[in-house]
A and B are shown apart, each in its own frame.
Chain A
């Protein structure tokens, strides 16, 4: 049971390049989330999914797209990377919605540097 895994661990992009961050969970969780973490700020929700084939916008969705084609995977895409997207990205998952005796379990993070 690997929990929540993220690929890659670290990436450097040039402005305008695209990339996809992969999140995988082996806990059969329905709900998956993408956050970004910036210095001096709390984690901010980018997008989330309440089940296979569904996605929804979070607090800071601009510049990102997501897909949940398989229950165990949640992909975060940057179509045209900008320096403002330099951040640490965390994926999380949960079996139940928040508050139903359930919280979110986080992956180890992906560090992205956009030059």
Chain B
């Protein structure tokens, strides 16, 4: 079946650097994408989302880029801080579903002080 995947399982950056976390999706019918942050022992926390009619969306220190041509999603975190250390998941609404999300396996981001 189709699924969402991540290119890198781990990413280590220095405090203050910018971080880029990538995600590949294969279901071309998906039209809503979300990035979640999950800290150890906690539930996923919404970061930012984007709909398929957009290429880019910015939040506070975060930017999501969507490339529908190559089915690629990325999360950019500016000026990464130690508090950003967590597992980051991308998710898609499975084939355009109104209720079902398909999650990637996650990327562990470690920020070194």
A interface residue numbers (CB < 8 A to B): 4, 31, 33, 40-45, 48, 50, 56, 58-59, 90, 92, 97-100, 103-109
**C-beta contact mask, B28-63 vs A, less than 8 Å → 1, else 0?**
000110101000011111100101000000000000
Interface of A is mostly: loop
| Cα of A48 to Cα of B98 in the assembled complex, Å | 11
Q: Give the Cβ gap from B75 to chain A, nearest Cβ, in Å.
A: 15
Q: Closest CB of chain B to A36's CB: distance in Å?
A: 11
Which of B51, B98, B106 interacts with A42 by CB under 8 Å?
B106
Contact B43 A107 (CB under 8 A): yes
A107 and B41 alpha carbons, distance in the complex (Å): 11
Tell me if B32 and A99 are in contact (CB < 8 A).
yes
The A-B contact count (CB < 8 A) is 64
Chain B positions within 8 Å of A41 at CB level = 105
Interface range for B: 20 to 34
Complex interface: chain A residues within 8 A of B104 (CB): 42
Q: Which residues of B contact A (CB under 8 A)?
A: 3-4, 31-32, 34, 36, 41-46, 49, 51, 89, 91, 93, 96-106
Instruction: Let me know if B99 and A50 touch, CB within 8 A.
Output: yes
Among B3, B43, B99, B102, point to the contact of A106 (Cβ < 8 A): B43
Return B107 CB to nearest CB of chain A, in Å: 11
Residues of B within 8 A of A109 (CB): 41-43
CB-CB under 8 A from B45, the residues of chain A are 106
A65 CA to B97 CA in the complex, in Å? 22
5 A-B residue contacts at CB 8 Å?
A45-B101, A56-B99, A59-B100, A100-B98, A109-B43
Given contacts A98-B99, A99-B31, A106-B43, 8 further A-B pairs with CB under 8 A are A33-B99, A42-B102, A98-B93, A98-B100, A98-B101, A99-B93, A103-B34, A106-B44
Contact B89 A43 (CB under 8 A): yes
Residues of chain B within 8 A of A56, CB atoms compared: 99
Task: Determine the distance from Cα of A81 to Cα of B36 in the docked complex, in whole angstroms.
Answer: 30
Indicate if the CB atoms of B105 and A48 lie closer than 8 Å. no
- Contact between A104 and B101, CB atoms less than 8 A apart: yes
Chain A residues whose CB sits within 8 angstroms of the CB of B49 once the complex forms = 103
